[in-house]
Amino acid sequence: QVQLVESGGELVQAGGSLRLSCAASGRTSSSYAMGWFRQAPGKEREFVAAIRWSASSTYYADSVKGRFTISRDNTKNTVYLQMSSLKPEDTAVYYCAARVGSSYYVTGDYAYWGRGTQVTVSS
């Protein structure tokens, strides 16, 4: 079992930056590939970014590529999402998740989820 707790979400102006954190606990939590997803009101949860357990590879949605950076510190069991050049359309609840399946992009391949942190970008 893996427990995930997100933090760092807040209200920010367009063009600003935020860093989200996801603290993981539970046995072997650092061995999972981790992902960030987001869900805006009235929309489905969508993939944002993912990182392999070794941090050797990262994956991004086209909508955030070049603006967001995912990273992890396995010594702290923490995954980060550095967000810059934020846009109003980035407004959503951001979730981190631990992957157990084969795809990095599909919500169904992630078994463990945090409760989310709200990011609001004002125009």
Give the model's pLDDT for residue 55: 84
DSSP element (H, E) containing 38:
strand 34-39
Q: Detail the DSSP E strand segments found in the chain.
A: 3-7, 11-13, 18-25, 34-39, 46-51, 58-60, 68-73, 78-83, 92-99, 110-113, 117-122
Task: Walk along the chain (123 residues) and give the pLDDT tens digit of each residue.
Answer: 899 999 999 999 999 999 999 999 987 767 899 999 999 999 999 999 999 988 889 999 999 999 999 999 999 999 999 999 999 999 999 999 999 988 999 999 999 999 999 999 999
